[in-house]
Structure 1
Amino acid sequence: MLFHVRMDVNIPGDLPQAEAAEIIARERAYSQELQMSGKWRHIWRIVGQYANYSVFDVKDNAELHEILSGLPLFKFMEIEVTPLVRHPSSVREDDS
């Protein structure tokens, strides 16, 4: 199943800089592992914001929830999820 996910990150200003840096490093490693596995198909930064649009390709809602809740920055995020389905006019065969 494909999902379009918007993630807005709001790290508290009073979080110690070293702690924030460590969480961000873990976030990067976790997200890159998911990208290499094919589960996190696309990620785009939203210009001027600490936010992104992503596309996930996972088995079901439960797997997506597990992935998202496992993000090290999860507790600092607002997340909006939209399920996707292949458009009948798509010329790409791998859009399922």
Structure 2
Amino acid sequence: MLFHVTMDVNIPRDLSADDRAEILAREKTYSQDLQRQGTWRHIWRIAGHYANVSIFDVRDNAELHDILSGLPLFPFMDIKVTPLLRHPSAIRDDDR
């Protein structure tokens, strides 16, 4: 199943620089591993915001929930999830 996920990040200003750097390093490793696996299909930054739009390809809602709640930045995120279905007028059978 494909999901469109918008993540707005709100890291507290009083988080120490060391804690911030450590969380960001773990977040990068976690997200890049999922990208290499093909689970996190696409990620785009939203200009002018500490936010992204992503496409996930997962088995079901539960898998997406587990992935998102496992993000090191999850406690600092506002997340919006939209399930996607292939449009009947699409000319391709895949995501190219």
Normalising by structure 1, what TM-score? 0.97
CA distance in structure 2 between the partners assigned to 1:50 and 1:21 by the alignment: 15
Residue 90 (structure 1) shift: 1.2
**Stretches of 4+ aligned residues off by more than 2 angstroms:** none
User: Residue 14 of structure 2 corresponds to which residue in structure 1?
Assistant: 14
CA distance in structure 2 between the partners assigned to 1:44 and 1:11 by the alignment: 19
User: Residue 60 of structure 1 corresponds to which residue in structure 2?
Assistant: 60
| Structure 1: 5+ residue stretches without partners | none
Normalising by structure 2, what TM-score? 0.97
How many percent identity over aligned positions? 72
Residue 94 (structure 1) shift: 1.0
Q: Deviations over 1:36-75 (max 9, x none)?
A: 1000000000001000000000000000000000000000
Residue 93 (structure 1) shift: 1.6
Q: Tell me the amino acid that sits aligned with residue 72 of structure 1.
A: P
Counterpart check, 1:40 vs 2:36: no
CA RMSD of aligned residues (A): 0.6
| Structure 2: 5+ residue stretches without partners | none
